[in-house]
Amino acid sequence: MGHYLESLRSITCILAVLIFYWIVVLGWLIPQVRRILRKVLVFAFSPTRLAIEFLKPKVASYGKLITWWNWTFRNVMLSVVILFLFDKGIVVRHLPFWLVCFVSWLLPFSRINELLIAFYQDAFEQLRGADSGTKITSIQRVGYLVGAYFEVAIQFGILYFCLLQGFFNKEFCSIVQAIYFSAVTITTVGYGDIIPNHWLSQLACIYELAVGFVLIIFTLGSYLASKSSPLTSTTTSRQDVSET
């Protein structure tokens, strides 16, 4: 009986995923539904990105807002790293799992996707050769990209450190070890001393590899292929990158 119930649950989950997939695909063909779906997807993957898009038309200087936004998140990130250095993860281990998941989604996961979306969109704008309103050279963009790459590696390290015991073959003894694992993952070195042995941690590692690929291979390639003369853009993503 238990075997049949397990099979029924698996089939139900597969059908639910397929139904959701086709709702998204078919809904994307309708402009009005597409706009709603985009906001829902952006909120699900990066509520911070949705927040900055909401604040953009409400401020006089969007560039100053982005500068404040990025420095705020980076200071929060460094504060969390310093806290974990002294705390050794004691606070995280005693929090409810749902609260840890919520905070991890709201801060590191959302910030990672925010940077990914900004540079991904900006890379396409570079390939289109659009004109700009802010003068940024390709070399400057590479500098912003390198900073974002290191930030993404640290954010993933925080994310791994917040996962419960059992997600890896051994528990991280410090935040430095988690950041180390994140660095060898995003750079595709993979020494093999730490191994994800849960589907959630394995999925997180695959996603980090994908983010690193987009940032270094796709985005960096588009920047190096473009001219080094000042470029302009009126797009949101370009303003994001100019202040990252």
Q: d(Cα 102, Cα 94) in Å, to the nearest integer?
A: 15
User: What is the percent of the chain where pLDDT is above 70?
Assistant: 86
Residues 13 and 66 in one domain: no
Interval 110-143: pLDDT, tens? 999 999 998 998 888 877 776 545 566 777 788 8
Residues 119 and 6 in one domain: no
Threshold 0.75, pTM exceeds? yes
Domain that holds residue 17: 1-45
Residues 32 and 126 in one domain: no
Residues 144 and 26 in one domain: no
Residues 138 and 58 in one domain: yes
Between 180 and 223, the higher pLDDT residue: 180
Q: Are 239 and 110 in contact (CB under 8 A)?
A: no
Interval 179-201: pLDDT, tens? 999 999 999 888 888 999 988 89
**Count of structural domains within the chain:** 2
Residues 122 and 25 in one domain: no
Q: d(Cα 207, Cα 214) in Å, to the nearest integer?
A: 11
Query: What is the model's pLDDT at position 5?
Result: 63
Residues 34 and 94 in one domain: no
Residues 59 and 168 in one domain: yes
What is the DSSP secondary-structure string of 129-167?
T---SS-B-HHHHHHHHHHHHHHHHHHHHHHHHHSPTTS
How confident is residue 234, by pLDDT bands cut at 50, 70 and 90? very low
Q: Give the SS3 label for residue 169.
A: coil
